[in-house]
Amino acid sequence: QGQVEESGGGSVAPGGSLTLSCTFTRGLFGFNGMGWFRQVPGKEREGVASLYSFGGHTEYADSVNGRFTISQDSTKNTLHLQMNNLKPEDTAIYYCAAAQFRPRSPLIGTEYDTWGRGTQVTVSS
């Protein structure tokens, strides 16, 4: 069992919504930054959204800003990504990531040291 586990992926029609969840099996303590990334086979990994554990500062990729919302539920050791108005170009494997040290560039994957295995999101009519 990994330290972070994603769930909530699936198939949805364009314009639909999905909520991804990431459960931290050992708790959120010790992580100063968390984020969601996505990757399409053959393409580079893309930072989608990030959240600082303290202060709650968030950042979003331009491609999802206004449609996606990242949030955490500390009582349940869970990170969420609410995705609305999904588009076919949102189709990808989505990964949850966490960083012990506060990321300087929160949408850059190399800033993170703990990763989930990913969950597939498919947007298609």
Residue with tokens 């999802």: 64
Q: Does residue 37 sit in helix, strand or coil?
A: strand
Residues in the chain: 125
The letter for the amino acid at 125 is S
Distance CA 64, CA 66 (A): 6
In this predicted model, what pLDDT tens digit does every residue of 8-52 receive, in sequence order?
Answer: 999 999 999 999 999 998 888 889 999 999 999 999 999 999 999
SS3 state at 89:
helix
pLDDT in tens, 105-125: 999 999 999 999 999 999 999
Supply the pLDDT for residue 11: 97
* Residues 102, 40: Cα–Cα separation, whole Å: 26
